[in-house]
A and B are shown apart, each in its own frame.
Chain A
Amino acid sequence: MTEIGSPVAAPTGPSTGEASQFDSTAARKQWQVILRRFTRHKAALVGLVLFVVLVLFAFLGGWLWKHPYDQTFRRYLDPTGDHPFGTDRLGFDMVAQIIRGTQFSLQIAIFVAVLSTIIGVVLGSLAGYLRGWVDAVISRFIDLILVIPSLVIAAVLVRNSFVASVAGGGGSNWVVVALYLGLIMWLSIARVIRGMVLSLREKEFVEAARALGASTSRIVFRHILPNTIDVIIVNATLAIAQAVLLEAALSFIGLGVQSPDTSLGLMISLNKNELTLHPWLFFTPFIFIVLISLSVNFIGDGLRDAFDPRQKRVKA
């Protein structure tokens, strides 16, 4: 966290004692500015609080809630004090089910966001910095993945029990779904980073670093990538929302998470025929998906505004 964002801090190049002191002061100031801008963005703050609550609910709720998720009661109980979200067609308590579903959905989404960001940033910056044949290979590879129907890739991974058993370590398949989503979602961030790196590598401060004899990895990781950190963070945040929604869509067409694992998307698809008779079974997981992705989208929007140096006033 020594060098963040501003090309003004970057040209100091290889750190002498003085320069790094300068860097860290400048960096702290910039983080403070961003933090202040973010906290002034009301929608983003609400989103952040909501997201933290959802994470706590998903990962701690299982211990605190009185009914375990695998205990059965009478089927189709209406929402009451004992079962605030009712019970489902097999008699499971919906609160416990929602806790477990939210946990799996968040697990998948965060895994996907991390994986797709790492692949996208590494390949995008390699293509943009090295250019030439490396760029050609990576760009053609991206074209290829765009052209091959992504559902075909999903079907192969989900069908293939070998992949499922290796990745899940026996039976659990949320990792397979997360891997698949990570493998198709890095394309856009890779393209954006490639474009940014292509232009950043021609800047004077990179030239200065190169003249001082900095190695390629030092130039890329210490000088170029810190200037793209805003785009990376915003994209990674929004990827969480995208992954939750994509996973739900996959569940609906039967290529998503499967039992014994679960997810909010799977819960909605299993309850799609209850829409008129037992609407709470359909709408509770639906509302939780909307809450996750709405909170993440608000955080992403707030971050984007906070990082934008042209933004003079933040009102929301």
Chain B
Amino acid sequence: MFRYIIRRLLISIPLLIVASFLCFGLVNAMGDPLGEWKLQKPRTPAEISAAYERTGYNKPFFERYATWAGDFVTGDWGESVVPGNAGRPVKDEVLKAFGVTLRLILGAEIIALILGIAVGVIGAVRQYSIFDYIATGISFTMFSMPLFCVALVLKAGGIELNNWLESIGADRWIITAGPPGDGFSGSIGTQVFQYTGAYVLPTICLVVIQFALYSRFQRASMLDTLNADYVRTAQAKGVSQGRAIFKHAFRNALIPIITVSSLNIGANFGGAVITETVFGWSGMGKFLVEAITKIEPYQVLGFMMVTAVFIIVFNLIADVMYAILDPRIRLD
């Protein structure tokens, strides 16, 4: 097991090298980061060459990549290049955005997982009951809605709620412009009020899609194990219904959802682009969209390196967990 983990991590090093090189090439193909700056007003040749000198864009492509890679290994992730916000260290900005995304997705992921597993299991145990039909209907509808519409409707609803709260003399509750930059302050009561106001809508938004995925998945795998021979054997030898469902079927039905959710969580560290954009959280998704719009090569690379590590690690966790939970699987 230990050797397997080490080998998988070693294999991912060349993967990161190739991926970062390709990604750098793709950003290069988007155009010149200084293009828009040059169009804003006439620039003197001296200004232009100074700007290219500063960004390193006067050097050939391969040399730029090699410089970045060399610096990255020593902990310097480069700086933003587009004039206007040039010279900001990429590392600080990526890690800051990562912190925001982490706070946003952690709670939502846990809620979605618990709700999804519970509803999926009940739906499977009481297959074709009223509960099952309603749960299936809800998750299908959630599955079929474009997330940004849900987010926009929630936001509009939040503003209405605020206006109503104001009209009855209460404080505005919902915050639709991200968490307060200077943190929460005041008495415990106010802090809770602000905290929930900032988190409630984006969390609902994230839970909606994840819940639909997890509950459908859990229902299917629970149905599989409920119909398995070993559960019928357990029932035949007189094990109580509750014990058969929870000890025999449920524990085995958890294996697939653990794999799926760890792959999903790994991918989610890349940020929830739409939720973050609509609710004004400066997380990873928003960071990437802005970096792409401005053509910031080193910001995109910094983003990719952080998310790639999480994707690789959570893929590995999924495989290892699978092997631990199901002793028939051998990792080699």
Contact = CB atoms under 8 A, between A and B. Distances in A.
B98 interface: no
Question: Interface residues of B toward A: which range?
Answer: 35 or more
Interface string B127-171: 010000000000011011111110011001000000000000000
Contacts of A310: 227
B244 interface: no
B145 A290 contact: yes
Given A252-B148, A265-B146, A275 B156 contact: yes
Interface stretch (B87-95, B116-124, B269-277): B269-277
Given A156-B26, A159-B30, A144 B144 contact: no
B29 A160 contact: yes
Given A143-B15, A160-B29, A252-B274, A275 B22 contact: no
A151 B26 contact: no
Given A147-B311, A248-B148, A156 B30 contact: yes
A149 B274 contact: no
A147 B15 contact: yes
Interface in B183-209: none
A287 B141 CA distance: 11
B255 to A, nearest CB: 16
A151 B288 contact: yes
Contacts of A241: 143-144
A272 interface: yes
B288 A149 contact: yes
A289 B288 CA distance: 27
B270 A149 contact: yes
B273 A253 contact: yes
B292 interface: yes
Interface stretch (A9-17, A33-41, A177-185, A292-300): A292-300
B207 to A, nearest CB: 17
Given A151-B273, A286-B149, A144 B18 contact: yes
Contacts of A146: 311
A310 B224 CA distance: 10
Given A144-B22, A156-B29, A315-B128, A249 B274 contact: yes
Interface in B279-312: 288-289, 292-293, 300, 303-304, 307-308, 311-312
Given A148-B23, A149-B288, A276-B156, A294 B146 contact: no
A294 to B, nearest CB: 4
B19 interface: yes
Given A151-B288, A160-B29, A310-B227, A297 B143 contact: yes
Contacts of B128: 315
Nearest to B19: A147
A297 to B, nearest CB: 6
B27 interface: yes
A152 interface: yes
A152 B311 CA distance: 17
Interface of B: 15-16, 18-19, 22-23, 26-27, 29-31, 128, 140-141, 143-149, 152-153, 156, 227, 270, 273-274, 277, 288-289, 292-293, 300, 303-304, 307-308, 311-312
Given A148-B19, A245-B144, A252-B277, 15 more contacts: A143-B15, A146-B311, A147-B312, A148-B22, A149-B300, A149-B307, A152-B23, A159-B31, A241-B144, A245-B147, A249-B146, A293-B143, A294-B141, A297-B143, A301-B140
Interface of A: 140, 143-144, 146-149, 151-153, 155-156, 159-160, 241, 245, 248-249, 252-254, 265, 268-269, 272, 275-276, 282, 286, 289-290, 293-294, 297-298, 301, 310, 315
19 contacts: A146-B311, A148-B19, A148-B22, A149-B303, A151-B288, A156-B29, A160-B29, A160-B30, A245-B145, A245-B146, A248-B149, A252-B148, A252-B277, A254-B293, A272-B152, A289-B146, A294-B141, A297-B144, A310-B227
The 7 A-B pairs of least Cβ separation, nearest first, read A293-B144, A248-B146, A294-B144, A147-B308, A252-B148, A147-B19, A155-B292
